[in-house]
Each structure stands twice: as C-alpha cells, then as structure tokens.
Copies of this chain bind each other. A is one copy, B any other.
Amino acid sequence: MKQQTGEQLLQQIHEYIGNLSYMREPMGLYDPIEYVLGLGGKRLRPVLMLLAYNLYKEDVTRIFSQAAGIETYHNFTLLHDDLMDKADMRRNKPTVHKKWDENTAILSGDAMLILAYQFMMKKCPLECVERVMEVFGRTALEVCEGQQWDMEFEHRLDVTVDEYIEMIRLKTSVLLAAALKIGAILGGAPEKDAQLLYDFGIKMGLAFQLQDDYLDVYGDPAVFGKKIGGDILCNKKTFMLITALSLAEGEDKETLLNWLRATDYVAEEKIQSVTALYNKVGVPELCQARIDAYYKEGLELLDKVNVESSLKEELKKFVCHLMDRKL
C-alpha cells in the first residue's frame, strides 16, 4: 500500500485548509475565521487523522474534509480559549478579540464550531457517519470540560496530580486520540484497532502536554518558541507546580506559597527561585519519568494495532519527531 510521510500529508492538508471555501457575507463574521485558520500551526490533528487512515487506505484526499473539520474545531477552541484567558497573542499575531473585539471573537468562534461540524459531515460515508459523529461530538464536549476544569483550577491550591492529568486528558489528549480514531474508522479499521489508536493518542497527548509543561521551565528559549517561565509567572497549575506543592516542606513550601501570593516582583527572580525549588524537590526528574512512562505505554498500544509493522513506521516517526525523540 502506498503510504505518505507526515511531511507530505502536512503539506497537502495545509494547502487544502488554505483553499477551503466558506467565505461569504457578512465578512465581519468570516474574516476572523480565515485569519485564525491562516495562522498556521503544526496541523497536528489532521495529519494524525490522515496517518491513521493511511494505515488502512491509500487515497487520503477522500477524508480531507474531515481532517479540515478537526483542525477547524481545534482552532475554534484556541479562539474561545484565548478570549477566556484574555491572551493577547497567538502564534506571534494578535488574537481575534484584540484585532477585532470580544463579540466578534464569540460569534466568529460559534460560526467556526458550526463549520467544523459541516466539514466533518461533508462526504462522510454513510456507513461511518454515526460513529464518526459520535466520537467527534463526545470529544468536542470533553474538550469543553477540560477547559472548564482548567479555569476552575486557577482558583484552587489543592489540585492533585490525578486531577491535573484528567484535565489535560480532556483538554488536549482526547482530540488527538479522536483524530486518530476517526481516521481509522474512515479507513475501515476494525473497532479494536480504532480503539487502540485512540488509547495510543491519549498516552501521547499526556506525554506531549507534560513535555510542554517541562519545556516551559527547562526548554531552550531559542527552540521552545515561547518565553521560558511563562507558566511560573502566571501561577499555572502545571504538573511541575502541583508536584512541587505536594512535595515541598517547611520553609520551601512557605517560599513557594509566597511566590504564588506575590503581586509585586521581578519576573526573573520569581522564575529563578521557583525553578530552584522545583530542582530541589526533584520535580524535573519526576516529570521526565512520567513523560517516559506515557510515551512507552503509547508505543506499546500502537504495537498492538493489527496492521503490518512496516505500515506503522510513518505514524511512529511522526510522533517521535513531535516528542523530539529517536525511534
């Protein structure tokens, strides 16, 4: 079977998304959608969908609309999340509520969610439509649940690691997993394989998000793309902070809590001090161990998928590259 690399699939789906025809009046509604979809990004979810499909079928162009649907959904969540988080920038460009206004961000986001459903339905084979829409709908709802937990965690100091993992499972993993599962369903995979690919996506999503948390503190600023220490500055309840809060004792704990309460400080000092505390109580090692475990569990699940080993290489390569690891 002719397979394509992640890079080839990315190029094609990126072009397809760039040529989607949804533009019409009122431009005030559709311009922001074009803007958001045009910001780019890694197109991770559509590529995963196409890679999963490509395990079973060749002609990936048949599901470009569904691939665009999941990317449109993902970009819709970024649009509304940025509004809720009052984020000014996304991919080095002003966010929609900054470039336009809040009402535009709300309404264009709503239209984008509806468009995502339309792309997902378009030319979806009748024998798949119920399962595809079931996975997509359930996942879409779970992503909202993840965002709700994330916002609720902001006001809490007693978030457990388990609660945090469940939050990132909902906010990040399930959509990656759903992309893989929908690709498999559309490719005609047996239910068991589709579920294994879903579970593989869950583990990889957790590994991926924890790696993001880790790199926010320990990443190379030249490579990471965002400023180092951003999560520390805004007291984000990441795996790092939650673990430190549960492990630090006595004076260390007091120092950490003081930094969380502090309102007037030099950014660099807070980042340095909190990072030193993370190091002292062993947070980076614990984080890396978790990442390794999820990554390994994920690959084991992929191994169980009942297709010839060589066919799984592209998907494996793509995920390894994403996690910046060797195969």
User: Is A144 in contact with B110, judged by CB distance below 8 angstroms?
Assistant: yes
Q: Determine if A149 is an interface residue (Cβ-Cβ < 8 Å).
A: yes
* A133 proximity list for chain B (CB < 8 A): 117, 121
Contacts A106-B80, A121-B137 given; does A114 touch B144 at CB 8 Å: yes
Residue of B nearest to A133 (CB): B121
User: Is B107 in contact with A110, judged by CB distance below 8 angstroms?
Assistant: no
User: Is A140 in contact with B114, judged by CB distance below 8 angstroms?
Assistant: yes
Q: List 29 A-B contacts (CB under 8 A).
A: A25-B145, A26-B152, A28-B148, A28-B152, A29-B144, A29-B148, A83-B106, A84-B103, A84-B107, A103-B151, A106-B106, A107-B144, A107-B147, A107-B148, A107-B151, A110-B110, A110-B144, A113-B113, A113-B114, A114-B137, A114-B140, A114-B144, A117-B137, A118-B137, A121-B133, A126-B126, A126-B129, A126-B130, A129-B129
Q: Which of A173-200 contact B (CB under 8 A)?
A: none
Q: Determine if A115 is an interface residue (Cβ-Cβ < 8 Å).
A: yes
Q: How far is the CB of A128 from chain B (nearest CB, A)?
A: 11
Chain A interface secondary structure, helix, strand, loop or mixed? helix
Residue of B nearest to A147 (CB): B107
Residue of B nearest to A26 (CB): B148
